[in-house]
């Protein structure tokens, strides 16, 4: 179970319709360009992730040994089994309408999570094969292997951008110190 911590950032679902369009385009024309569009759009999305929440009260001692009751909440994220691969996936949804398609025997809540947060949760849960976007409609899986590849690509691109920015900054900083190249200007007036 994951301990819940408040995230004060407002969830932004503006990119989710764009993701649905990108998935549809990829399914019509499966190529590197449409795959990249789906991945890049998904990286900017916020998803609804279902979980059962357990609230507990614990006795906690502070630095001066004063004992207080503290309410803690823990989330147990819902998992779906894939009958073809025999794998387990976190279901994630792009809208409340898609969440309603989930038939689950126990009451659950949804949490707004960014792609990066779901990928980190997936990475920290070895028994999970990945997560699946809208499992009852688009049914687009992101496996552990895919997430690792995306992560490594983002790390590489970030390093390349940082190196380029550093080189540009060093070039800009060093311009005042450079001396002009030894160029002599002549005219043809003295040529006979």
Block means of pLDDT (10 residues each) for the chain, length 192 residues?
Answer: 47 86 94 93 93 82 80 85 84 94 88 93 91 94 91 88 82 57 52 48
How many domains does the chain contain in total? 1
Does 90 fall in a domain?
yes
pLDDT value at residue 6? 42
Instruction: Specify if 97 maps to a domain.
Output: yes
Is 160 inside a domain boundary?
no
166 domain-assigned? no
Q: Is residue 27 part of a domain?
A: yes
Helix/strand/coil (H/E/C) assignment for every residue in the chain: CEECCCCCCCCCCCCHHHHHHHHHHHHHCCCHHHHHHHHHHHHCCEEEEEEEEEEEEEEEECCCCCEEEEEEEEEEECCEEECCCCEEEEEEECCHHHHCCCCCCCCCEEEEEEHHHHHHHHHCCCCCCEEEECCCCCCEEEEHHHHHHHHHHHHHHHHHHHHHHHHHHHHHHHCCCCCCCCCCCCCCCCCC
Task: Give the pLDDT score at 1.
Answer: 44
pLDDT of residue 91: 95
Q: What is the pTM of this model?
A: 0.72
- What residues make up the domain containing 122? 10-57+69-154
**Within a domain: residue 162?**
no
Q: Is residue 96 part of a domain?
A: yes
Decide if 37 is inside a domain. Answer: yes
């Amino acid at each position: 179970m994951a301990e819940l911590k408040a995230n004060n950032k407002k969830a932004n679902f503006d990119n989710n319709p764009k993701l649905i369009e990108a998935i549809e385009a990829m399914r019509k024309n499966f190529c590197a360009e449409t795959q990249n569009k789906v991945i890049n759009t998904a990286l900017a999305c916020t998803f609804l992730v279902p979980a059962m929440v357990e609230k507990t009260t614990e006795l906690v001692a502070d630095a001066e040994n004063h004992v207080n009751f503290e309410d803690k909440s823990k989330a147990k994220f819902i998992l779906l089994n894939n009958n073809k691969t025999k794998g387990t996936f976190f279901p994630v949804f792009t809208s409340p309408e898609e969440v309603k398609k989930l038939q689950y025997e126990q009451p659950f809540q949804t949490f707004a999570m960014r792609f990066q947060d779901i990928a980190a949760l997936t990475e920290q849960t070895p028994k999970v094969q990945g997560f699946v976007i809208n499992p009852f409609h688009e049914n687009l899986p992101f496996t552990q292997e895919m997430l690792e590849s995306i992560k490594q690509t983002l790390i590489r691109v970030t390093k390349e951008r940082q190196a380029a920015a550093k080189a540009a900054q060093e070039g800009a900083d060093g311009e005042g110190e450079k001396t002009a190249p030894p160029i002599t200007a002549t005219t043809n007036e003295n040529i006979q």
